[in-house]
Structure 1
Amino acid sequence: MRRRQVLKLLGGGTAGLGLGTLGAIPAARACDLFPRQHAWRFLVLRHGNVIGEHLFTFSRRPSKGGGDFVVEVAIDIAVDLLGVTLFRFTHRAEEVWREGWLHSLISATDDDGALWRLESQRRDGALRGKVNDVPFDVSGFVVPASLWHRDTPRTQALFGTIDGRVKVVRSEALGEEAVKVGGDRVQARHYRLTGQLERDIWYGPDCGLARVAFPARDGSLITLERQ
């Protein structure tokens, strides 16, 4: 079944999921559409031990319609025991945003030996592409599950940047908390995502992603701490 058909079954089309709102998502408070920083670097921790790095890089790129905003994501994780690697995860992705809309997304992922290749581009009002040669299309405004976007806690569906699947989620605002970002502590808004994607996410005063926590497949807690 094609992705568009799945979305219609879930909620009468993408609008029922909050993914096809066609720009109707209200703007976040006093926040830029895109981050002003050039990069965010996170350490990935498990049981308090560093097991990897998660890096976002932001840049501008000339395009026919003006300037594209480009988000590059690099994740490298390895869990070792007595010199033996028990688990390895690598992910590379590039999101290209044009006039506030996700224009294209490509990614390559090695999830402990399971390989994923995703290529997509916006055409005729939908994000269309393939994951491991299986076609998909998602219409409407798309917020990716990379979590950096300011509207992540404000939508009811996130687009999986690894497998291309739409994740139906619920978001709960848990108030403000002080979290560590680099050497400072900042007040951050805490949200909890549940459903087909489980994440605790914190956004700082500028709406930048400040911290992430989620359960791993083995039940351990994984934390991303921004440096």
Structure 2
Amino acid sequence: MPKSTLRRISLALSTLGLFSLCASQAMADQTLNYKVFKDGEPIGTEQVILSDTSDGQTAHIITETSVQVLFLKFHYHHDRTETWNGDNLVSVKAETDDDGTPYQWLAEYEGKCFEVAGKGVPRREQCDGAWPLTLWREDVTSKTSLYSVIDAAPYKVSVAKTVDDSLEIDGKTVPATHYVMTGDVTRDLWYDQNGKLLKTSFKKKGYDIDFIRVDAN
């Protein structure tokens, strides 16, 4: 397995910003748009920009939230690019500003083995086929090993499929498949008939958080 140096990681991460955003938007084949809610109040957005490549697909995920709690305001910005070869993850580059705390890291895969290192994360190598918590893909529900998209911290989870369900989104009834994730991460997940995320719900610090797709039909 090739060894990534910190310099190589830094150079790779430096291309993540404007260049990757412009390129992915110019070549985008599909964009999934989400609104983020806290206790029913809008607090931000997430975009998943999917672009086909010669040997697979890239996914560029941009999340932006701002939350006011009493006299305090909290801001979160996350920018991540995933490179896929079919259903195989090739690499993940992530940059996050978690209310002033920065994280930058790169994960590179060779089969089920991967290496992750960067700023704000401990360097490690694993061969358990873990993916980041990349919920836009329904096949993430087959995983029992995941890791944080913020600081790459490892998670152990279990996922159970419930009966097929439907969702009311913007006054429309949308067919959906419902999963419940438990363990180090708890999520309710609903996916459309193409295996793309429609909605995820969870609690954070006692608040109800929902990501709801606004372009579902």
The bucket for the TM-score relative to the shorter chain is 0.7 to 0.9
Give the match for residue 13 of structure 1. Answer: none
Cα RMSD of the aligned pairs, angstroms, is: 2.2
What is the distance in 2 between the residues matched to 1:140 and 1:101? 13
**SS of aligned partner of 2:138:** coil
How many angstroms apart in 2 are the aligned matches of 1:124 and 1:206? 25
User: What is the letter of the counterpart of residue 175 of structure 2?
Assistant: Q
Q: Out of 37, 42, 65, which is 1:77 matched to?
A: 65
Relative contact order higher in (CA < 8 Å, ≥ 6 apart): 1
Supply the distance in 2 between the matched residues of 1:125 and 1:170 (Cα, whole angstroms).
Answer: 19
The answer to whether structure 1 residue 57 and structure 2 residue 45 are counterparts is no
1:148 positional shift: 1.5
Query: Would the alpha carbon gap of residues 80 and 125 (structure 1) be closer, same or farther in structure 2, given more than 3 Å must change?
Result: closer
Q: 1:108 maps to which residue?
A: 95
Matching of residue 138 in structure 1 with residue 130 in structure 2: no
2:163 is paired with a residue whose SS is: strand
The alpha carbon displacement at 1:88 in A equals: 0.8
Look up the match of 1:178: 166
Corresponding residue for residue 161 of structure 1: 149
Corresponding position: 1:198 with 2:181: no
- Bigger helix share: 2
**Aligned 8 A contact 2:132 2:152 in 1:** no
| 1:118 is aligned to 2:110 | no
* Secondary structure in 1 matching 2:146: strand
Q: CA deviation at 1:37?
A: 6.0
- Going from structure 1 to structure 2, the CA distance change for 1:136 and 1:176 (only over 3 Å counts) comes to same
**Which is worse superposed, 134-143 or 50-59?**
134-143
TM-score, normalised by the number of residues in structure 1 = 0.74
Consecutive unaligned residues of structure 2, counting only runs of 5 or more, are: 1-27
Matched, 1:89 2:110: no
Whole-angstrom CA distance in 2 between matches of 1:42 and 1:124: 31
1:172-225 CA-to-partner distances (Å, cap 9, x unmatched) read 223222213455321211111111111111112222111000111x21000111
State the shift of 1:100 in Å.
Answer: 2.5
Matched, 1:225 2:212: yes
- The answer on whether the counterparts of 2:190 and 2:199 sit within 8 Å (CA) in structure 1 is yes
Distance 2:111 2:163 in 1: 40
Tell me if structure 2 keeps the 8 A contact 1:78–1:87: yes
The residue type equivalent to 1:61 in the other structure is T
What is the Cα deviation at residue 129 of structure 1? 2.5
Instruction: For 1:73 and 1:109, locate their aligned partners in 2 and report how far apart those are by CA, in whole Å.
Output: 11
Counterpart AA for 2:206? G
Q: Does 1:46 align with 2:38?
A: yes
Counting aligned pairs with the same residue, the percent is 23
Post-superposition CA distance 1:63-118 (Å, at most 9, x none): xxxx2310110000001368x66111110000001242111101011111221111
Query: Given the two structures, how large is their TM-score scaled by the length of structure 2?
Result: 0.77
